[in-house]
A and B are shown apart, each in its own frame.
Chain A
């Protein structure tokens, strides 16, 4: 039984079949849609380059061939771990042998954001509404200068809208990237016509007959807005697990193999927080995390071992610049630049002592992909090699020794 029909839930179901699970396999999804690709929502879908149908991961026939019983529009009310029963909102009781929680996350709400014209950007339905509202709106305010907010800002600028981004921190994407990357992106967005209001808090909204007309800032000023998108992070959907007595902190706590504190319950994707070897909890909000944790869960259920140990990676498309991150920049004591920051074609390599800990790449996918292998294989280029564009990074690792 899999609760959640997003990237993680579908991946868990397919991985279970691939690992040889012969029994019943049910996927319960709260949204009315079959599993769909979420990354294109804030980019191609809002640009109108991709239809909702094109985002579908697997159509009904494809799922039926794998005997995956997908039930959409289905909300779980309660989990009884002792009896191993899932209780649905409609009153149904479904028994399970193994339960995989892939309940995802929801957009962090902002107080006072119930006005018409104020949206969060998380689901297909959110984006369908935003796309519709955007046709009428010219003045757009984005609250939150993280990946989602900035990707949306880029789309809105490409559509010719007037765009202001309000960010509480003093730099963009502060939770995920280093200071130099934040500066490059601030320059990129300003060059493309975005007004940035950094280190600015939101005090409230102005409205007319229930429709938003502006965003009031902490300094007393007001930015006019016909449409507001709030992108201030996500909250893990861990309430079902917590109510069932499963250990949760900043997510459902799992180990690298997807085990929760209950021996028959596993979890994967945005709803989880993973316990690392050093005892700390790591929350990742990414496609890779959903896929790798789902595969880990499936393997564990089938008495195999496939822990998620690869270096974390992520990407963000803004305008024509693709940002790709692998590892982490946090805790670095030295960094070098490969390429040219002024042309948005560069990578920053982060070191802790002699050890490479992360790479952020702009329009340099070859650095990113090489970096994934370097980090997974524990191979450290010297800072001189990393900065030298004439030095081929793939000389340092064995291509056939790919770590999956």
Chain B
């Protein structure tokens, strides 16, 4: 199963096996990774699962319009590599992905 490294706001790194097809949010929240709220449960309706994609920039599928609109309203700084983690599905191509979580989501 491909692994993803999540860097929590504290700097703590957590490596998780993420099943293919799961979103980065689902794997993080069900494993209790700190730094993701995901209030809406993955419906792209709350912008509280903001993350920074720190690797695999070319392999991560681009954000759709709805995600881009919601992302503008995330609380933490929006960077070029900002995404909503509920909208990125795990694939074998993303094995080894590194995801950084922001200081705040709400």
Contact = CB atoms under 8 A, between A and B. Distances in A.
Contacts of B43: 39-40, 43, 315, 317
Contacts of B45: 39, 315, 317, 322, 324, 365
A92 interface: no
B31 A61 contact: yes
Interface stretch (A50-58, A124-132, A210-218): A50-58
A58 B30 contact: yes
Interface string B15-30: 0000000110010011
B8 to A, nearest CB: 13
A39 B41 CA distance: 7
Interface string B25-63: 010011110000011111111010000000000000000
A55 B69 CA distance: 24
Interface stretch (A62-70, A114-122, A176-184): A62-70
Interface string B54-98: 000000000000100110110100000000000000000000000
Interface in A296-323: 315, 317, 322
Contacts of B106: 404
Contacts of A240: none
A58 B45 CA distance: 20
Nearest to B26: A54
Tell me if B's interface is mostly helix, strand, loop or mixed: loop
Question: Is the interface on chain A under 10, 10 to 19, 20 to 34, or 35 or more residues?
Answer: 20 to 34
Contact of A62 (B32, B42, B44, B66): B32
Contacts of B70: 365, 369
Contacts of B22: 54
B41 A287 contact: yes
Contacts of B40: 39, 287, 315
B25 to A, nearest CB: 10
Contacts of B29: 57-58
Contacts of A65: 32
A59 B66 contact: no
Contacts of A365: 45, 66, 69-70, 73
A66 B31 CA distance: 12
A363 interface: yes
Nearest to A65: B32
Contact of A366 (B38, B42, B69): B69
A136 to B, nearest CB: 26
Given A56-B30, A58-B30, A40 B42 contact: yes
A222 to B, nearest CB: 36
Contacts of B72: 366, 369
Nearest to B28: A62
